[in-house]
Chains A and B, each alone.
Chain A
C-alpha cells in the first residue's frame, strides 16, 4: 500500500468515525419530561403534542416519563435529573423556599383541586368532621392536610392521620381501614367514582379544599433556574407546542382521540380509560381562574400566586415570604 493511499484510507476511517458520533445539522433536541404521576387526565395535552408531532415540529425529541408524586418530581428537577417537569406548584413553592432553584413556566391547572374523599354514606362534609376519625395520606400530601387543619383550626392531635404508601392508600380506604383520604380530585379518586358507576364500588363524597379557605395553585410545568439561563429557546419551543396541544385538547370533539393517544403512548391499563377521561373533564374547568380567564392557557396571575404563598405563611409552613418573581414566569407562555 502506498503512503498516499494509506493517508486516504485513514482520512476516510476518521470521517466515518466522526460521522457516527456527530449529530447531523438540525437534529432534534432531546428533552426528558418528567410527569408527576402515572397517567392522569391532565397529562392528555402533553401526550397529544407528542402524538400529533407538535414537539417534533419544534425540533424537540420529547421523552415523557411517568412520575411518583410531585414531591419526587420536584426533587428530581432540583437535581437536574430531567430537563422539564410537571408538578404541583404548592410542592414546588415549598421546595423553592428551602433553596431549590425551580420556577413554574406554564401553569396548566390553575385551580388546585384538593379534597378529602370519604364514603358517601358516612361523608366528611367539613374539616371539623375529621375530629375522631381517620384519614390516609401519602407523605407528600401530608403538608396539604396540615394546611387544611391549620386554616380551619382543627387540632391535628384529634385526627388520626395514617401515612401510607401511594400503593396502599386507595386500597385501605376501600377496605374500610380508614374513614377518608386526601388527594387531588383530578387524579386517582375518580377511579373510585368510575367503579361506583359500574356498580363495582361504593359512591364517594368529595369535600373540596376550595370551600374551606384553601385555593391553591395546581399542576404546571417546572424547570430548574439554570435551564432558563442555558436553554431558553428549548423551553420556549416546548411550552409553545404544549400550549398548542392544550388549545386542541380542550375542544370536546377531541376528547376521545386525546384519551386514545394518551392510553396508547403511556401503556396504561385499559381499565383506566373511563377514569382518565373523567379526570380530564374535571380538569377543564380548572385550567384558568377568574384572574386569568382573559389570558392564554398557561399564563399565571400574580394574585393567584400571592394567595398560594399567603396560605403557607399563615400556617407557618414558610418561615419568610418568597418573592413571587422567584416562583414563576410568564416569559415562555405564547401571547397568541
Chain B
C-alpha cells in the first residue's frame, strides 16, 4: 500500500555536525522572528497613542481650550521634564504605599483564602464579613482611617490593603476549590496530608486564578493609594494632584496623572510577567506564545 505523508518525514541525521547545524541555524532565526513579532504587536498601540496625542493637540489649538481645563500634550511633556525631580519624589512615596499595601493584601489574602478552603466554619464566618467590607466605599472610610491612624503612610497602606484584599481572596478561593475531587482523593489515598495536598495539588492548580486576582488588585492598589492621599497627606502623587488642581495648574495635574498611569501599567506588566514565569504551562500563556510564533 502506498504511504501518504501529511507531514514530510525528516531526513535521517548521519553525522553529528549535520545534526547540530540545523539547531544552531534555527536559534537565531527564531530569536529574529520573536523580535519581529514583538515589534509587530507593539506597533498598533503605539500608533493609536500617537494618533490620540495628535488629535488632542489639534483639539486644544482649534477650540482654544484653556490650560486649566486641558493643556496641550507638548506642554504636559515639557512640564514633566522640568518637574521630574518633584514627580519622582512624590511618585516614590505613592509607590511605597502601593507595593506595601498590595504585598500585605497578597500575603493575608492568600492565607485567609487557604483557611476558608480548609475550614467550612471559617468560610461561613469570614465570607459575609468579606463581602460587607467590600461594599463599604473606600472614599467614605478613608477620612476615618486618617483620623485613627494619622497623616503618615499607614492610612494609605491600610486603604490599599482594603481595596485589593477582596479580589485576591475571592480569586484564590475559587482557584483552590477548582481542583477535581478525584485528584484530591487519589493523593489522599497515597497518604498525603492536608498541607501537602494544599502545596502540591491545590496551589499549582489555583495559580491561574490567583494571578488573575493579582492583576486586578495591583491596578486597584494605585487607586487606593490616591484615595488615601486625597483625604490627608503631605506628599505623594495624590497630594500633588490635589494641590495643583487647587491652583488650576493644568500641566502639573496631567503630568502627575501620566506618572500614575505609567505606574499602574508597569505594575500590571510586572505581574503579567511573573504569571508567565510561574505558569508557563497554562493554556492562556501557551496560547499567547503560540500566537506570537505563528508564521
Contacts and interface: CB of A to CB of B under 8 A. Distances in A.
A98 B67 contact: yes
A45 interface: no
19 contacts: A99-B66, A100-B66, A139-B243, A140-B246, A142-B247, A143-B247, A160-B234, A163-B232, A163-B233, A163-B242, A164-B146, A164-B231, A165-B230, A168-B231, A172-B151, A172-B232, A175-B147, A177-B147, A178-B151
B68 A99 contact: yes
A163 B244 CA distance: 12
A94 B248 contact: yes
B68 A98 contact: yes
Contact of B147 (A139, A160, A168): A168
Given A163-B234, A171-B147, 20 more contacts: A95-B68, A95-B248, A98-B66, A98-B67, A98-B248, A99-B68, A100-B66, A100-B68, A138-B246, A139-B242, A139-B246, A163-B233, A163-B239, A163-B242, A165-B231, A168-B147, A168-B232, A172-B232, A175-B147, A177-B150
A162 interface: yes
Interface of B: 66-68, 143, 146-147, 150-151, 230-234, 239, 242-243, 245-248
A27 interface: no
Contact of B234 (A100, A140, A161, A165): A161
Interface string A159-187: 01111110110011001011000000000
Nearest to B248: A98
Interface of A: 71, 94-95, 98-100, 138-143, 160-165, 167-168, 171-172, 175, 177-178, 317
A172 B243 contact: no
Contacts of B242: 139, 163
Contacts of B147: 168, 171-172, 175, 177
A309 B248 CA distance: 17
B288 to A, nearest CB: 43
Contacts of A100: 66, 68
Contact of B233 (A138, A162, A167, A177): A162
A164 B243 contact: no
A98 B230 CA distance: 24
B249 to A, nearest CB: 9
B146 A172 contact: yes
B232 A142 contact: no
Contacts of A71: 246
A71 B164 CA distance: 32
A129 B234 CA distance: 19
A225 to B, nearest CB: 13
A15 B69 CA distance: 46
Given A94-B248, A98-B67, A98-B68, A165 B243 contact: no
Contacts of B233: 162-163
B40 to A, nearest CB: 44
Q: Which 9 A-B pairs have the closest CB atoms?
A: A99-B66, A139-B246, A139-B242, A98-B68, A168-B143, A98-B248, A164-B232, A165-B231, A162-B151
Contacts of B66: 98-100
B176 to A, nearest CB: 39
Contacts of B234: 160-163
Contacts of A142: 243, 246-247
A143 B246 contact: yes
B242 to A, nearest CB: 4
A139 B143 contact: no
Contacts of A171: 143, 147
A167 to B, nearest CB: 5
A163 B243 contact: yes
A224 to B, nearest CB: 13
Contacts of A95: 68, 248
B75 to A, nearest CB: 13
A178 B232 CA distance: 11
B50 to A, nearest CB: 28
Contacts of A164: 146, 231-232
A98 B231 CA distance: 26
Contacts of A163: 232-234, 239, 242-243
Given A98-B68, A99-B66, A139-B242, A162 B248 contact: no
A175 B143 CA distance: 13
Nearest to A178: B151
A143 B245 CA distance: 11
Contacts of A99: 66-68
B70 to A, nearest CB: 12
Contacts of B150: 177
Nearest to B151: A162
A171 B67 CA distance: 35
A94 B67 CA distance: 13
A139 B67 CA distance: 19
A81 to B, nearest CB: 14
Contacts of A139: 242-243, 245-246
Contacts of B143: 165, 167-168, 171
B78 to A, nearest CB: 16
A178 B233 CA distance: 12
Contacts of B68: 95, 98-100
Contacts of B248: 94-95, 98
Nearest to B240: A163
